[in-house]
């Protein structure tokens, strides 16, 4: 399990933070992100960039990209933010079934979209992302041996 894709809607708020944190925690893995309705070419949301900087993560080079069938094929694991994302992705790309999970699956939580919300919403999303990554990293490491 070496190829991990993080997924949200616009690929500018949640999935870039999850991507950067997973990449830091799993340096031998390939981690990237995409969106179901990506704002293609857009940089990460300024508030996500700021949170990233505060956490030692650099999102300055991030550019949003739309999910593709090829990305789905390349990924060993796809971590989404909400159950609705899983349903939409599996409907659009049936071949992903069995490798799509919520980032908050192990802790039984969703990660709400902070887009166009105040900083508190981004802080809540970051806390949930960090918790989800902490839950998943040991499992991914175990499955990658």
Catalytic residue numbers read 8, 14, 113
Q: What DSSP character marks residue 32? A: E
SS3 call for 101 = strand
Distances (CA, A) of 12 to 1, 19, 41, 43, 128: 25, 11, 10, 6, 16
**What distance separates the 2 farthest-apart alpha carbons in the chain?**
41
Q: Strand, coil or helix: what is 79?
A: strand
| 88: number of Cβ within 10 Å | 17
């Amino acid at each position: 399990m070496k190829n991990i894709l993080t997924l949200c809607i616009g690929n500018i708020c949640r999935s870039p933070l999850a991507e950067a944190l997973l990449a830091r925690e799993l340096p031998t893995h390939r981690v990237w992100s995409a969106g179901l309705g990506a704002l293609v070419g857009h940089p990460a949301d300024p508030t996500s960039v700021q949170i990233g900087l505060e956490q030692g993560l650099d999102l300055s080079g991030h550019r949003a990209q739309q999910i593709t069938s090829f990305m789905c094929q390349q990924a060993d694991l796809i971590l989404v933010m909400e159950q609705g994302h899983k349903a939409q992705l599996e409907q659009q790309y049936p071949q992903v079934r069995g490798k799509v999970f919520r980032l908050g699956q192990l802790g039984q939580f969703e990660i709400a979209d902070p887009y166009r919300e105040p900083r508190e919403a981004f802080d809540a999303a970051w806390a949930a992302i960090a918790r989800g990554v902490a839950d998943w990293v040991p499992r991914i490491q175990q499955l990658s041996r």
